[in-house]
């Protein structure tokens, strides 16, 4: 294949904001010679009211193009930068940008605005994953079509799991839903796969040393498809803070020390989800939902303004 201009007449796309607000204060800078030794060739584009941009494509000698979304001082959104394989440029680009603040629109903390930073969502504590988990540039979460995800209390594998335990578990689960403002879990006794997703198994396991342990699996697109939550004894399954912690793991979230959180790796005295937990959870779940569209590029990693992996 020769120069880009020989095979592509128009480079076009639009900006998607994670919070759905207008993409004000943003410009698009296209570096056509990214990664090559050719003379620098770049274009700066303004957006229309719908966040769209378009420009006749330039020729280039590289196999990729770097696209930066540059935020003006005081803009609502973070700057972001992505590197796009030349083969992707024939299709519309939908470039995802993140807000600097997230206004919680539903649930217990509705109406509260929280500052959200990509570096906080991706901050790792010693020996632990970050609150936001990323798989091949996609946020890890359940697809919206899988929610509410089925949950099976495995009485067959946990003879000591009582009716009182079940009531306590579901009260805590409903409290998590009330905080996030979304139906997330549904009781079921069916352990089989549905629409490529298995239900979450919940059981007692006296062999574990922690109060609870959660295992989840996801694919290359960050789509969760199974999970297991284990509590050491009935005592732990009747503690709302322990159940909330493990269910947030089951939703794909890791530990964090970036804010006061129910997801701190060690007991910090926080009981239940905090307003920061809810803001970051809602943001990450929204990012995952937007990234279900194969034309969407960018996201939380690129929002720090640095190049990440080539997007094929």
Let me know the angle formed at the C-alpha of 248 by 238 and 138, rounded to the nearest 5 degrees: 165
Dump pLDDT digits (tens) for 104-150.
999 999 999 999 999 999 998 777 789 999 999 899 999 999 999 99
- Same structural domain for residues 91 and 227? no
Q: Give residue 41's pLDDT band: very low, low, confident or very high (50, 70, 90).
A: confident
| Residue whose tokens read 């592509």 | 8
- Same structural domain for residues 46 and 121? no
Residue pair 280/131 in contact (Cβ under 8 Å)? The answer is yes
Q: Residue 302: is its pLDDT beyond 50?
A: yes
Q: Residue 309: is its pLDDT beyond 60?
A: no
- Same structural domain for residues 265 and 299? no
Let me know the angle formed at the C-alpha of 252 by 79 and 201, rounded to the nearest 5 degrees: 170
Query: In this predicted structure, what is the pLDDT of residue 39?
Result: 56
Distance, in Å, from the CA atom of 85 to the CA atom of 82, rounded to the nearest integer, reads 10
Average pLDDT value for the chain: 90
Residue pair 96/16 in contact (Cβ under 8 Å)? The answer is yes
pTM over 0.85? The answer is yes
Q: Residue 103: is its pLDDT beyond 80?
A: yes
Let me know the angle formed at the C-alpha of 145 by 130 and 274, rounded to the nearest 5 degrees: 40
**Domain count for the chain:** 2
Query: In this predicted structure, what is the pLDDT of residue 124?
Result: 87
Question: 142 in a domain, yes or no?
Answer: yes
Question: 267 in a domain, yes or no?
Answer: yes
Query: In this predicted structure, what is the pLDDT of residue 37?
Result: 52
- Same structural domain for residues 179 and 232? yes
Q: Residues 160-172: what's their mean pLDDT?
A: 97
Which structural domain, as residue segments, surrounds residue 35? 4-99+293-304
Question: 309 in a domain, yes or no?
Answer: no
Question: 312 in a domain, yes or no?
Answer: no
Q: Give residue 195's pLDDT band: very low, low, confident or very high (50, 70, 90).
A: confident
Question: 222 in a domain, yes or no?
Answer: yes
Query: In this predicted structure, what is the pLDDT of residue 268?
Result: 63
Dump pLDDT digits (tens) for 252-262.
999 999 999 99
| CB neighbour burial string for 168-190, b if at least 16 within 10 angstroms, e if fewer | bbeebbebbbebbbbebbeebee
Question: 66 in a domain, yes or no?
Answer: yes
89: left (phi over 0), alpha (psi -120 to 50) or beta: alpha
Query: In this predicted structure, what is the pLDDT of residue 301?
Result: 80
Q: Residue 58: is its pLDDT beyond 70?
A: yes
Query: In this predicted structure, what is the pLDDT of residue 6?
Result: 44
- Same structural domain for residues 180 and 260? yes
- Same structural domain for residues 246 and 276? yes
Q: Give residue 305's pLDDT band: very low, low, confident or very high (50, 70, 90).
A: very low
Q: Give residue 196's pLDDT band: very low, low, confident or very high (50, 70, 90).
A: confident
Q: Give residue 38's pLDDT band: very low, low, confident or very high (50, 70, 90).
A: low
CATH number, position 69: 2.60.40.1120
Residues above pLDDT 70, as percent of the chain: 90
- Same structural domain for residues 277 and 297? no
Query: In this predicted structure, what is the pLDDT of residue 307?
Result: 41
Query: In this predicted structure, what is the pLDDT of residue 115?
Result: 97
Query: In this predicted structure, what is the pLDDT of residue 40?
Result: 59
């Amino acid at each position: 294949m020769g120069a880009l201009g020989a095979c592509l007449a128009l480079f076009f796309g639009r900006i998607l904001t994670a919070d759905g607000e207008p993409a004000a204060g943003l410009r698009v800078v296209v570096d056509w010679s990214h990664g090559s030794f050719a003379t620098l060739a770049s274009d700066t584009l303004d957006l229309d009211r719908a966040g769209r941009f378009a420009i006749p494509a330039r020729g280039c000698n590289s196999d990729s193009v770097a696209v930066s979304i540059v935020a003006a001082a005081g803009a609502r959104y973070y700057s972001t930068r992505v590197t796009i394989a030349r083969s992707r440029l024939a299709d519309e680009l939908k470039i995802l940008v993140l807000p600097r603040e997230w206004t919680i629109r539903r649930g217990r903390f509705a109406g509260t605005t929280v500052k959200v930073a990509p570096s906080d969502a991706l901050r790792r504590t010693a020996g632990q994953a970050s609150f936001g988990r990323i798989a091949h540039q996609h946020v890890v979460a359940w697809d919206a079509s899988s929610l509410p995800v089925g949950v099976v209390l495995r009485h067959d594998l946990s003879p000591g799991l009582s009716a009182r335990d079940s009531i306590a578990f579901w009260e805590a689960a409903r409290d998590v839903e009330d905080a996030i403002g979304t139906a997330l879990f549904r009781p079921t006794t069916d352990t089989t796969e549905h629409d490529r997703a298995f239900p979450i198994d919940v059981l007692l396991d006296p062999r574990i040393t922690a109060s609870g342990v959660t295992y989840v699996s996801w694919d290359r697109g960050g789509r969760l498809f199974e999970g297991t939550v284990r509590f050491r004894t009935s005592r732990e399954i009747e503690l709302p803070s322990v159940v909330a912690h493990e269910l947030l793991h089951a939703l794909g979230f890791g530990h964090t020390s970036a804010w006061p959180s129910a997801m701190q790796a060690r007991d910090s005295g926080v009981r239940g989800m905090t307003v920061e937990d809810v803001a970051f959870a809602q943001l990450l779940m929204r990012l995952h939902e937007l990234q279900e569209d194969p034309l969407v590029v960018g996201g939380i990693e690129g929002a720090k303004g640095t190049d990440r992996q080539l997007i094929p």
